[in-house]
Amino acid sequence: MKIFVGHVTGTKMAKTAEVTVERVVIHPLYKKRFKRDKKYQVHDEIGTKINDVVKFAASKPYSKTKKWKILEVVTAKKGKAK
């Protein structure tokens, strides 16, 4: 089972959160490290807010783009989102 940790960047859709996962990639020839990020559409029954750090895993397809489900909120946001 694939489990990812990312932060919530959008909650405009019903029962759906957009979660961004950031990873570090090393260039095969030059060995420079750089960041890559990918956005996932995740099924959200918990009711997360923007800037929450969540843990999510692969699950049954909920729709065409939602194939992930939030397992838990690792850290909740503190204060207002800008």
Instruction: Give dist(CA 78, CA 81) in Å, integer.
Output: 8
Phi, psi values for residue 65, rounded to 5°: -110, -15
Q: Report yes or no: 56 and 40 within 8 Å, Cβ to Cβ.
A: yes
80 lies in some domain? no
The one-digit pLDDT tens for each residue of the chain (82 residues) are 889 999 999 999 999 999 999 999 999 999 999 999 999 999 999 999 999 999 999 999 999 999 999 999 999 876 555 4
Tokens of 7: 């932060």
Domain carrying residue 31: 3-75
44 lies in some domain? yes
Number of domains composing the chain: 1
82 lies in some domain? no
